[in-house]
Chain A
Amino acid sequence: MKELNEIYNNIKEAAKYVDAATETDPRLVELIRTLKATRDRIVQLGKESGDEKVESFSKEVLDEIDRLMERVARKLGIYP
């Protein structure tokens, strides 16, 4: 749970960073890759836990990651 919480807080911080970043910021492309890796790991953590609370929170974290991925993609002009 603690691990998930740390990741969740960082995703929130990352969202602020993305909002303030320009479209040419080189970390944005890296961030898309990173978020995909984070997503895979969170899915794994949720499945492995066998704990309902952790599974439920992991879904919340995944939603937050998906929202951020979309935000980054829009900023990079991947979506019209």
Chain B
Amino acid sequence: MSDGMLRGVDYEDPIVKFRGERILYTLKKVSGREMQLDPSFLVDTFYIHYLPLPLMSTKSDVPEDKGVMYSLLNSIVSSDLVIKNREYSIANSAVSVALTVSYMQHLIEELEKIKRTSQSQEERDAAEQILNGLMKKRFVRARKRTESQR
């Protein structure tokens, strides 16, 4: 898990890894289903809530295939809702975990709804692209294989 997008976060630190795992575990429990999410994105969402000043890496440091996720994370940093919630979550890991789980659960539900029901093909494609970006690369490849075999 070394491809996070925040400056100053050590993605190889065992506590950082543990936080990502804990968020994923809670998210699975809350949603009641299996999810193969990219832990580095969960960690980034956690630290956006937790750090006094979360600083994004420069876009040129991010691999090209992560461009969409970079934009998504950037919009989370500047989201009014997140800014308001940070009042309670800064330097508080328990609250940051809870808010990250809630945020991710709603984000995934909303994207899946758009993918299923939107009238616009463009919107459906964008939602799918973001959902794929949220998932582990290994899982996206396996899912695409399964879909092409159908």
Task: Give chain A's interface residues, CB within 8 Å of chain B.
Answer: 2-3, 6-7, 9-11, 13-14, 17, 27, 30-31, 33-35, 37-38, 41-42, 45
Contact = CB atoms under 8 A, between A and B. Distances in A.
Interface in B1-31: 7-8, 15
Interface stretch (B51-59, B60-68, B113-121): B51-59
B93 A34 contact: no
A67 B86 CA distance: 21
B6 to A, nearest CB: 10
Interface of B: 7-8, 15, 50-55, 83, 86-87, 90-93
Nearest to B54: A10
Q: Which of B8, B53, B54 has the most CB of A within 10 A?
A: B53
Given A9-B8, A17-B55, A42-B91, 16 more contacts: A3-B91, A6-B50, A6-B51, A7-B51, A10-B51, A10-B52, A10-B53, A11-B52, A14-B55, A34-B86, A34-B90, A37-B86, A37-B87, A37-B90, A38-B90, A41-B90
A7 B91 contact: yes
Contacts of B51: 6-7, 10
A17 to B, nearest CB: 6
Contacts of A33: 87
Contact of A45 (B52, B53, B87, B91): B91
12 contacts: A10-B8, A10-B51, A10-B52, A10-B53, A13-B55, A27-B53, A30-B83, A31-B53, A37-B87, A37-B90, A38-B91, A42-B91
Given A2-B15, A9-B8, A13-B8, A35 B52 contact: yes
Contacts of A38: 52, 90-91
A34 B53 contact: yes
A34 B15 CA distance: 24
A39 B91 CA distance: 9
